[in-house]
Structure 1
Amino acid sequence: MIPLHALETERLRLVPWRDELVDALWAMHANPLVARYLDAQGRVYDRAKAAERIAGWRLEYAEHGMGKFAIERQSDGAFIGRAGFSPFEGESEIGYSLAHEHWGQGYASEIAVGLRDWFFANRPDDKFIGFAHMDNTASRRVLQKIGMTETHQGVVADMPHQFYILRREQLA
């Protein structure tokens, strides 16, 4: 079994959170373009919120064997964003967010494919879910690109989201 934080793709790798990555996560989530689909009021992170989220993802990993990790570019170690799986209402949920300067380079699709493949190779679960803000067409396209199908619309963090599912048998 490969631990989630050891996942590598052609250009990217997931790595455990290090103390120096707090500022990188803070900078990413301090950008209003990143925050607009993550907070109903468009609130950006402060440094304390970034540190709190990292602590939460570490705890998720300790308790559930999954969480969100930092994404680094393999060629130079640059911080690209965060990605992984988290528990959400009894389901495993795929999630990713990239720093604005790395949008449009195929990184979200690349890490999502890697996460999908890791999940079904290393977890016994038959399915995982994902969701994206209704207006976040780029993120919704990534979920569709990895084979997920729409299920329903719901509210997450006081915002409308489209939910998706991917079942193991869909890949067979």
Structure 2
Amino acid sequence: MTDLTLLETDRLVLSGWRADQIEDLYRLHGDPTVARYLTGHGRPWTTEEMDQALAHWIALFERQKMGKLRVTRKADGVLVGRCGFGIYGPEEIPEIGYSLYPEFWGNGYVLEAASGLRDWYWRETDRDHFLGMADARNEASLKVLRKLGGVYTHTGDSYDHPDVEFYRYDRPAA
């Protein structure tokens, strides 16, 4: 494990980003297929938005071991996407989110990464809950949020994104 590695699952390594890895994020969030459900406008992120996001994720990782993390396959070190905790709203509630390159969809990587992060969260933090949310049209992402054990709370707006389903994850009873 490198010093940026947060956790490993059976097939994946989740680690923090470095500034010199921005091209990977440009490829991921610059892809119209990937970006379709990530924002209310459904367009790829601008390079400025991605630069800001990466700087924020790096700072979150340094401060709290959170942030959207790089997800690579153990078998060959190939980057498949990102998964991790952002911070939502003025209360700064941890929010799990993920995005994969389309060529890796359908392999169970998102659920594996998100499950590993959920378990890490309960083991390594003392927080009592976190959120998950996805565009109400994105059934694949919503399926992951449900399998992860989230309880649907409502459908509403998230920043510039209307029609988002919100899920809450509460710390399991001891």
Shared fold, TM over 0.5: yes
Q: Which amino acid aligns with 2:121?
A: F
The 3-state SS of whatever aligns with 1:169 is coil
**1:164 aligns with one of 159, 167, 171:** 167
1:71 — aligned with what? Answer: 71
Q: Is the 8 A contact 2:97 2:132 kept in 1?
A: yes
The gaps in structure 1 that reach 5 residues or longer are: none
Q: Determine the C-alpha separation between the residues in 2 that align with 1:9 and 1:110.
A: 7
Q: Which amino acid aligns with 1:105?
A: N
1:4, 1:84 within 8 Å by CA — same for their partners in 2? no
Q: Is the 8 A contact 1:7 1:13 kept in 2?
A: yes
1:14 aligns with 2:14: yes
Question: Cα RMSD (Å) of the superposition?
Answer: 1.8
Distance 1:71 1:88 in 2: 21
Q: Aligned partner of 2:165: which letter?
A: Q
TM-score (norm 2): 0.89
With over 3 angstroms needed to count, the CA separation of the structure-2 counterparts of 1:67 and 1:97, relative to structure 1, is same
CA distance in 1: counterparts of 2:147 and 2:79, whole angstroms: 24
For 1:8, give the aligned amino acid: E
Question: Which residue identity is paired with 2:35?
Answer: A
Runs of 4+ aligned structure 1 residues displaced above 6 Å come to none
Q: How many percent of aligned residue pairs carry the same amino acid?
A: 40
Aligned to 1:26: 26
- Asked whether the 8 Å contact 1:12–1:72 carries over to 2, the reply is yes
Q: Does 1:122 align with 2:124?
A: yes
Does residue 99 of the first structure (1) align with residue 101 of the second (2)? yes
The amino acid that maps onto 1:163 is F
Measured after TM superposition, the shift of residue 4 of structure 1 is 8.3
- 1:56, distance to aligned residue in structure 2 (A): 1.1
Aligned to 1:113: 115
CA contact (8 A) 1:5 1:69 kept: no
Structure 2: give runs of 5+ residues left out of the alignment.
Answer: none
Q: Kindly provide the CA deviation profile for residues 11-68 of structure 1, in whole angstroms up to 9, marking residues without a partner as x.
A: 1111221344211111111211111111222221344433321101112233444211
Alignment partner, residue 137 of structure 1 = 139
**Matched-pair contact (CA < 8 Å) for 1:23–1:47:** no
Q: Deviations over 1:116-166 (max 9, x none)?
A: 100000010111111010001111100110111101111122321000011
2:52 — aligned with what?
52
